[in-house]
């Protein structure tokens, strides 16, 4: 499961519900998903910057999307068409699948949308896509101190299978362990 990100040896960024938009209402009326393509890489990079100390830029995200077996989903709140309102980006996820196994490379939700179901919506979308592709196992790494993410993943059925010591570097120089989690996709 060792992986190299486009910016070096910092793999799966499975943080959870991260990124920021103050115009978001308390609870989005709707959360929609669209395929994350290179056209949305700058939006994804802006979201990633709000969620991680070691964030990825648009080029890095585009390169990850170009890797065979990779895909991403972008969550957004649709704009009000009657008022010519813009869509509001809420978060995204990047995944790479190989044969019957997939790894979540990163998942992030804007801070103003955390706890509103965006992370669950993204994970559900990923699971739906992976089942259609006959993937049976999902993996990710998450910082041991990221309690909101751990709650999300455990609630979704992920279980701890390992630990990577001093895996994440914080801006303050602190090194934080990562938990390796897996989720088996049950056939319908």
Supply the pLDDT for residue 18.
Answer: 34
> Considering the domain boundaries, does residue 4 fall inside one?
no
Q: Name the DSSP class of 172.
A: T
Are 167 and 15 in contact, with CB atoms under 8 Å apart? no
> Considering the domain boundaries, does residue 1 fall inside one?
no
Q: Which two tokens stand for residue 176?
A: 């934080």
Residue 78: CB atoms within 10 Å? 14
Which residues touch 151 (CB under 8 Å, ≥6 apart)? none
> Considering the domain boundaries, does residue 8 fall inside one?
no
**pLDDT confidence of 27, banded at 50, 70, 90?**
low
> Considering the domain boundaries, does residue 35 fall inside one?
yes
pLDDT by residue (tens digit) across 110-150?
A: 999 999 999 999 999 999 999 999 999 999 999 999 999 99
* Count of domains for the chain: 1
Q: Decide if pLDDT at 160 tops 80.
A: yes
**What is the CATH number for 153?**
3.40.630.30
**pLDDT confidence of 52, banded at 50, 70, 90?**
confident
Supply the pLDDT for residue 5.
Answer: 31
Residue 148: CB atoms within 10 Å? 15
Higher pLDDT: 108 or 186? It is: 108
Supply the pLDDT for residue 22.
Answer: 47
CA distance 55 to 156: 25
Residue 33 domain boundaries = 13-184
> Considering the domain boundaries, does residue 40 fall inside one?
yes
Higher pLDDT: 26 or 4? It is: 26
**pLDDT confidence of 182, banded at 50, 70, 90?**
very high
Supply the pLDDT for residue 39.
Answer: 95
Name the nearest CA neighbour of 183 among 155, 156, 158, 162: 158
pLDDT by residue (tens digit) across 31-42?
A: 999 999 999 999
Residue 60: CB atoms within 10 Å? 18
């Amino acid at each position: 499961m060792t992986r190299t990100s486009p910016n070096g040896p910092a793999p799966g960024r499975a943080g959870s519900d991260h990124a920021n938009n103050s115009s978001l209402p308390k609870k989005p009326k709707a959360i929609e998903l669209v395929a994350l393509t290179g056209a949305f890489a700058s939006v994804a990079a802006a979201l990633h910057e709000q969620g991680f100390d070691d964030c990825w830029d648009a080029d890095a995200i585009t390169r990850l999307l170009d890797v065979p077996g990779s895909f991403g989903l972008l969550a957004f709140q649709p704009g009000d068409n009657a008022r010519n309102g813009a869509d509001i980006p809420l978060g995204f996820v990047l995944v790479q699948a190989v044969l019957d196994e997939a790894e979540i490379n990163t998942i992030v939700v804007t801070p103003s949308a955390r706890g509103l179901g965006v992370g669950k919506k993204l994970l559900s979308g990923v699971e739906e896509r992976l089942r259609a592709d006959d993937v049976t196992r999902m993996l990710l790494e998450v910082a041991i101190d990221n309690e909101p993410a751990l709650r999300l993943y455990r609630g979704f059925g992920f279980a701890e299978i390992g630990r990577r010591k001093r895996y994440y570097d914080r801006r303050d120089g602190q090194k934080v362990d990562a938990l390796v989690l897996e989720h088996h996709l049950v056939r319908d």
